[in-house]
């Protein structure tokens, strides 16, 4: 792609948005290249990227182009135009504008839409697709990315993000749009009859559904306090409404409740980043809270901090999910409600601890590729066959679902579960970290961590490809002090022992070490990063931490970083 020619085409386009034209005029040569050297990728996670002018940026023109592709796919679905598309958006810059543009483009194809009247979280969008029996859905969000990003995610008629087979079909249609600048968009008046504004009706139905996730509904909620922050995002009212309706003493972090697209009062909107908890911990110390919960901007991820021995301890997504599983399964078993054909889903880069907890209760475990769409697709499969009954699904990246009335990560469900777990165990004289330590004592101590190598721009993309190609061409036989006993290549669908991997192809490599630890590598599907996942097994917490540090250094040395 000739970035200079593309730049000139945009610059000289007579109808170009004025703010984008001004941005083009201020670009230096390296910025021009990065903004125009390729089209922003539409993949299995939709699109996500920096806001701004250019074909490699998120702007109204690339949104219009994406919606042409999605509209053509919707029209192929049974009664797709009439069933329509649900559309929601978070608090980010341009989110409402992108959502409105999406609705207008779809209207141009005769497709009905259900457009949220104000920001709503991702799980509520998934719920709305199912509530209105739509043919699909659109969520405008960049999830937990920094403020300068936005994105576009598409959903099928079950409220699940499109699986690769269907996303490829949409991508084909998107790529057939030759000129994103000349996509025809109806006026607001012309689109009016196709757009249905959505408000409290779906809110109430969604909140009522979330409330059914309580495992012990009659549990006394006195003497338990939870501090909550939406990190300026879309979960503020859903979480606060649900928990207060159920009688919880919830203390909001008020300075982070306004839907601020600049995330002014948080160092990061990402629950995976420790600094994102600083304001919430300050509030928790003032009110002596038992648990802290923070959700990301689009309300699908939850981070938890538990008070333990007078200190506030951050839990990883793997750790909190293992505790949730222990609570859910132990209580369902006690109540005689644990199905004999129960199944739990997690991913190939998720800790082994959750699987060990599930199997200790006789619950089957199935792993998927990274991306909650694969878990949603598993739910769909067994919903049809009745062969297995869904009990819980989660990813290491702080996302889970308790009940499948949504088919994406649901932080509103997760906050309720974290509160109920914390409350239940407090009444037994324990906290969430105590329960985690009990699980370690029973199943082995694991320390999970991640290194995300940020490699932006043209050269960064090349470097990420180089890292994966080098590892793939010559699988390491030893990492640090430990032999690699098995290597898995999910792009080639094969293992080093000659067996095959029965999952969709994906650019992931995973190495199992002789001590029961493993390390995985994959490029991010939504950010310019190459991610390395470490699940390290140790004799105890100190041993696991020491081994993790050594293996992280060894892995980075192996790839020359």
Where do the structural domains in the chain lie, given as residue ranges? 3-198, 207-443, 445-558
Q: What average pLDDT does range 162-167 have in this prediction?
A: 93
Residue 410 CA to residue 402 CA, distance in Å, equals 8
Q: Which fold has domain 445-558?
A: TATA-Binding Protein (3.30.310)
Check the CA dihedral 14-19-20-26 and report its sign: positive
Q: What average pLDDT does range 459-466 have in this prediction?
A: 89
Q: Which fold has domain 207-443?
A: Alpha-D-Glucose-1,6-Bisphosphate; Chain A, domain 3 (3.40.120)
Query: What φ, ψ does residue 195 adopt, rounded to 5°?
Result: -105, 125
Q: What average pLDDT does range 84-109 have in this prediction?
A: 98
Q: Give 50's strand partners.
A: 149
The alpha-carbon radius of gyration of the chain (Å, integer) is: 23
Residue 242 CA to residue 285 CA, distance in Å, equals 24
φ/ψ region of 79 (left if φ > 0, alpha if ψ in -120 to 50, else beta) reads left
**What is the model's pLDDT at position 246?**
98
**What is the model's pLDDT at position 456?**
80
In the block, residue with structure tokens 């990560």: 409
Does pLDDT of 1 surpass 70? no
Domains 3-198 and 207-443 share a fold: yes
- Start-to-end Cα distance in the chain: 30
Structure tokens at 382: 């067994």
Do the Cβ atoms of 497 and 491 come closer than 8 Å?
no
Query: CATH: 1.10.10.10, 3.30.300.130, 3.40.50.2300, 3.40.120.10. Which one for 3-198?
Result: 3.40.120.10
pLDDT digits (tens, 9 = 90+) for 199-239: 999 999 999 999 999 999 989 999 999 999 999 999 999 99
pLDDT digits (tens, 9 = 90+) for 331-389: 999 999 999 999 999 999 999 999 999 999 999 999 999 889 999 999 999 999 999 99
Residue 141 CA to residue 410 CA, distance in Å, equals 15
pLDDT digits (tens, 9 = 90+) for 3-40: 999 999 999 999 999 999 999 999 999 999 999 999 99
> What positions carry a catalytic annotation?
143
Give Cβ neighbours of residue 260 (< 8 Å, ≥ 6 apart).
Answer: 91, 232
Q: Dihedral through CA 221, CA 227, CA 232, CA 234, nearest 10? A: -20
The DSSP secondary structure of 108-154, one letter per residue, reads HTT--EEEESS---HHHHHHHHHHTT-SEEEEE--TTS-TTEEEEEE
């Amino acid at each position: 792609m000739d970035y200079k020619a593309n730049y000139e085409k945009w610059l000289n386009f007579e109808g170009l948005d004025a703010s984008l034209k001004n941005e083009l005029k201020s670009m230096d040569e390296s910025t021009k290249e990065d903004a125009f050297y390729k089209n922003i990728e539409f993949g299995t996670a939709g699109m996500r990227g920096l806001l701004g002018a250019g074909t490699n940026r998120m702007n109204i023109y690339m949104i219009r182009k994406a919606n042409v592709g999605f509209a053509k796919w919707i029209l192929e679905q049974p009664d797709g135009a009439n069933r329509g598309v649900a559309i929601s958006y978070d608090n980010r810059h341009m989110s409402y504008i992108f959502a409105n543009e999406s609705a207008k483009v779809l209207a141009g194809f005769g497709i009905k839409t259900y457009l949220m009247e104000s920001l709503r979280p991702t799980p509520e969008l998934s719920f709305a697709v199912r509530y209105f029996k739509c043919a699909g859905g659109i969520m405008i969000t960049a999830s937990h990315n920094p403020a300068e990003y936005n994105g576009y995610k598409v959903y099928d008629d079950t409220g699940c993000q499109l699986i690769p087979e269907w996303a490829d079909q949409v991508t084909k249609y998107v790529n057939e749009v030759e000129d994103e600048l000349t996509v025809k968009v109806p006026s607001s008046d012309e689109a009016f009859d196709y757009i249905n504004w959505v408000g409290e009706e779906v809110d109430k139905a969604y909140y009522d559904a979330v409330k059914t996730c309580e495992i012990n509904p009659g549990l006394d909620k006195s003497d338990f306090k939870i501090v909550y922050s939406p990190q300026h995002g879309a979960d503020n009212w859903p979480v606060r409404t649900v928990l207060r309706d159920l009688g919880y003493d919830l203390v909001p972090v008020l300075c982070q409740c306004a839907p601020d697209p600049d995330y002014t009062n948080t160092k990061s909107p990402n629950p995976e980043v420790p600094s994102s908890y600083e304001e919430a911990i300050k509030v928790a110390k003032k009110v002596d809270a038992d648990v802290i919960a923070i959700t990301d901007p689009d309300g699908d991820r939850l981070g938890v901090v538990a008070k333990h021995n007078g200190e506030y301890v951050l839990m990883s997504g793997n750790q909190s999910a293992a505790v949730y599983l222990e609570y859910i399964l132990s209580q369902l078993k006690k109540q005689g409600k644990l199905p004999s054909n129960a199944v739990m889903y997690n991913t190939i880069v998720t800790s082994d601890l959750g699987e060990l907890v599930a199997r200790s209760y006789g619950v089957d475990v199935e792993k998927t590729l990274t991306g909650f769409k694969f878990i949603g697709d598993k739910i769909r499969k067994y919903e049809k066959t009745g062969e297995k009954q869904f009990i819980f699904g989660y990813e290491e990246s702080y996302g889970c679902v308790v009940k499948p009335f949504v088919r994406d990560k649901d932080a509103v469900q997760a906050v309720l579960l974290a509160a109920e777990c914390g409350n239940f165990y407090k009444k037994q004289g324990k906290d969430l970290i105590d329960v985690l330590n009990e699980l370690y004592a029973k199943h082995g101590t694991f320390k999970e961590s991640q290194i995300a190598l940020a490699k932006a721009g043209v050269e960064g993309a090349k470097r990420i490809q180089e890292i994966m190609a080098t590892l793939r061409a010559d699988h390491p036989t030893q990492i640090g002090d430990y032999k690699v006993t098995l290597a898995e290549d999910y792009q080639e669908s094969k293992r080093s022992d000659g067996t095959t991997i029965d999952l969709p192809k994906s650019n992931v490599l995973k190495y199992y070490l002789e001590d029961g630890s493993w390390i995985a590598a994959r490029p991010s599907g939504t950010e310019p990063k190459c991610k390395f996942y470490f699940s390290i097994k140790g004799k105890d917490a100190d041993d696991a931490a020491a081994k993790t540090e050594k293996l992280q250094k060894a892995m980075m040395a192996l790839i020359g970083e």
